[in-house]
Each structure stands twice: as structure tokens, then as C-alpha cells.
């Protein structure tokens, strides 16, 4: 049994949640993938996947093996890179995740540039306004905004963003701008459904104000659209509101009470950070944000 081929197949099945998607990715037939996994399980003496008619899930043994298998494959790629005099070009698949609007505005331009320059590289970019597990989901690099929890992952800081409260000019004219965060109790509030923009808004000097939303929505685009339509005051990040502020659809509120800027991190496994595609992406993001104290 070719153990490297078996581990490559195992990682592909785990990362794509199925034998058929892994087969398409690897250019193999589904029966060949099934035989490869069965042979690896016989060799190890443990089941790696729980199979049903609708899904494939890692067993406890499979979950333990996955990060080790990725590390082995990464070391093999590094060995090839060294043997070829460090000239290995990025190839294969690069898996990225980022918040929706930040990804569209700042990650996608870096991605399109990498694809234009490296024909053997493919990229999967997951744009989600929630955090997903980096190692378990097979993510090479995750863009995270905010203070990080303790982690064994490597984090590269590439910039900061600021909180900003916005409303439409008509709303500000009709209702007036609040002079202090506590005055938000008298205003209509547009809230998000995440920790930062839920029903407790943070301001400088550790001030926290409970708000009662008139509208709660699940996307930043909807918050901005509702604010521009005059529904109320929304709590967003400066890069998200920049276009609306420039176009005059929005005006800022309580700027002088904004809390400290939030860091932007690129989060990745140490072993993945040595891969050419990962290094090129990180370098590209650093160049894009260079000189911007806040995006």
C-alpha cells in the first residue's frame, strides 16, 4: 500500500465530507477511493469514518489522525520543495475563509491575483460571518477580526478596523444624533445577531450599553441597507460603512465614543504556513493592507 497516497485520499475524504467529492478532486473513481480508505483502515486496525447513506463523518480515531496526516503531507511537500532548490511553485488547492464583506473587498483581489499568476493553483474561499474550526474544516488560512482566544495556531496581524455607528442623514435630521451612548435608549436600533453587534454595544473606557433593537438582521448588507433607509442606528465596522458614508447615504454617530480598534489576523497552522501557496497568500494580504492603520 502506498501510504502517502492513502493519507492523501484520507485527507481529501475528510475535508470534502464524502467519497464522491474526494474522488472528483483527486481524479479517481469512487470505488478506488473506497478501496484506498478500506486498505488504510485495515493497515491501521481502526475505522476512520462512520458511513451512512447520507453522510460520512470522522470517527474519534480518524479525527486524531487528520492533523497528523496533514503534517506528514506538508513535510513531504517541503521535502520536494527543498530537493528542487526551493523553486516549487504553488499548486493544488488552497482553502481560505473570511468574513463576507471583508472577503469580498480585501481577500478576493488577492485571490484573483494569485490565480492569474499561478495556473496550477485552485482556491476555495468560504465567506462566512461566523468562525469555523480551522484544523477540523481543513482551512489553510482564516481571516479573523477581533481579539483571538488562546490557540495553538499561528496568527499574523495585518491591520485593524474600527467600530462605527451609522444612520441615514434623514434619520439624524429628524431624530437628532445621540450625544452619549446612554442616549441610544431613545433611538431605534438595528442589531446584528453576533456577539459584537447583539444587544450590548461596547464603547471606549469599557462602557457597555444595553440596546433594545427595533430590527435584528443576520447580515451586514441588510444592516447597512436598513440604516440607509432610515430605520435606525446600526453598529458596523468602518470598512463596511465606507462606501455608504462616501456616497452620503449614511452619517456617523458617536464617533468620539468608539472603542479601541479591532485587530485583523490571519490564522493558520504552523506547518501549513510553510507551504508556497499559503506564504504567497499571506504576503499578498500584507501588501494589500500595508500602510493602512485602519482599513
Distance from C-alpha of 8 to C-alpha of 6, rounded to nearest angstrom: 5
Q: Is there a contact between 107 and 96 (Cβ–Cβ < 8 Å)?
A: yes
User: Can you identify the CATH homologous superfamily of domain 163-257?
Assistant: Periplasmic binding protein-like II (3.40.190.10)
Distance from C-alpha of 239 to C-alpha of 294, rounded to nearest angstrom: 8
Nearest residue to 163 (alpha-carbon basis) of 196, 140, 115: 196
Phi, psi angle pair for 48, to nearest 5°: -105, -25
> What are the boundaries of each domain within the chain?
3-83, 92-161+262-289, 163-257
Highest mean pLDDT among 58-72, 129-143, 253-267: 253-267
| 28 band by pLDDT with thresholds 50, 70 and 90 | confident
Architecture of domain 3-83: Orthogonal Bundle (1.10)
More confident residue, 240 or 194: 240
Please give the average per-residue pLDDT across 11-26, as a whole number. 86
pLDDT(180) > 90: yes
Distance of CA 270 to the CA centre of its chain: 17
Q: Which of 2-11, 74-83, 209-218 has the lowest mean pLDDT?
A: 74-83
CATH number of 92-161+262-289: 3.40.190.10
Say whether 92-161+262-289 and 3-83 share the same fold. Answer: no
Three cell numbers written together for 217: 438582521
Using a cut of 0.75, tell me whether the model's pTM lies above it.
Answer: no
Please give the average per-residue pLDDT across 62-69, as a whole number. 89
pLDDT(25) > 90: no
| pLDDT score at 225 | 96
Q: How many CB atoms lie within 10 A of CB 41?
A: 18
pLDDT(257) > 90: yes
| 237 band by pLDDT with thresholds 50, 70 and 90 | very high
Q: What SS3 class is residue 37?
A: helix
| 78 band by pLDDT with thresholds 50, 70 and 90 | low
Please give the average per-residue pLDDT across 195-201, as a whole number. 77
| pLDDT score at 80 | 65
Nearest residue to 9 (alpha-carbon basis) of 1, 17, 23, 20: 23
Distance from C-alpha of 37 to C-alpha of 47, rounded to nearest angstrom: 9
Residue 274, Cβ density class (10 Å: 0-12 exposed, 13-18 middle, ≥19 buried): middle
% of the chain exceeding 70 in pLDDT: 92
Nearest-10 crossing angle of helices 19-26, 3-16: 120
Amino acid at each position: 500500500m502506498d501510504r502517502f497516497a492513502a493519507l492523501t485520499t484520507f485527507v481529501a475524504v475528510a475535508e470534502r465530507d464524502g467519497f464522491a467529492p474526494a474522488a472528483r478532486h483527486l481524479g479517481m473513481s469512487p470505488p478506488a477511493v473506497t478501496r484506498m480508505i478500506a486498505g488504510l483502515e485495515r493497515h491501521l486496525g481502526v475505522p476512520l469514518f462512520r458511513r451512512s447513506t447520507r453522510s460520512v463523518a470522522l470517527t474519534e480515531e480518524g479525527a486524531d489522525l487528520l492533523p497528523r496526516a496533514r503534517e506528514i503531507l506538508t513535510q513531504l511537500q517541503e521535502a520536494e520543495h527543498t530537493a528542487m532548490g526551493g523553486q516549487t511553485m504553488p499548486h493544488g488547492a488552497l482553502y481560505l475563509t473570511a468574513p463576507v464583506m471583508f472577503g469580498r473587498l480585501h481577500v478576493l483581489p488577492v485571490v484573483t491575483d494569485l490565480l492569474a499568476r499561478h495556473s496550477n493553483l485552485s482556491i476555495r474561499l468560504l465567506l462566512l460571518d461566523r468562525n469555523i474550526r480551522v484544523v477540523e474544516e481543513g482551512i489553510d488560512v482564516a481571516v479573523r477580526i477581533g481579539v483571538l482566544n488562546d490557540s495553538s495556531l499561528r496568527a499574523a496581524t495585518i491591520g485593524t478596523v474600527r467600530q462605527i455607528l451609522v444612520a441615514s442623514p434623514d434619520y439624524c435630521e429628524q431624530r437628532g444624533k445621540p450625544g452619549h451612548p446612554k442616549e441610544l435608549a431613545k433611538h431605534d436600533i438595528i442589531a446584528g445577531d453576533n456577539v459584537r453587534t447583539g444587544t450590548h454595544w461596547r464603547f471606549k473606557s469599557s462602557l457597555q450599553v444595553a440596546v433594545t433593537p427595533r430590527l435584528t438582521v443576520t447580515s451586514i448588507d441588510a444592516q447597512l441597507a436598513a440604516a440607509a433607509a432610515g430605520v435606525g442606528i446600526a453598529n458596523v465596522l468602518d470598512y463596511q460603512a465606507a462606501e455608504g458614508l462616501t456616497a452620503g447615504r449614511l452619517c456617523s454617530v458617536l464617533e468620539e465614543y468608539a472603542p479601541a480598534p479591532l485587530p485583523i489576523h490571519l490564522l493558520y497552522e504552523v506547518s501549513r504556513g510553510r507551504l508556497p501557496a499559503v506564504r504567497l497568500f499571506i504576503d499578498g494580504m500584507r501588501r494589500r493592507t500595508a500602510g493602512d492603520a485602519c482599513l
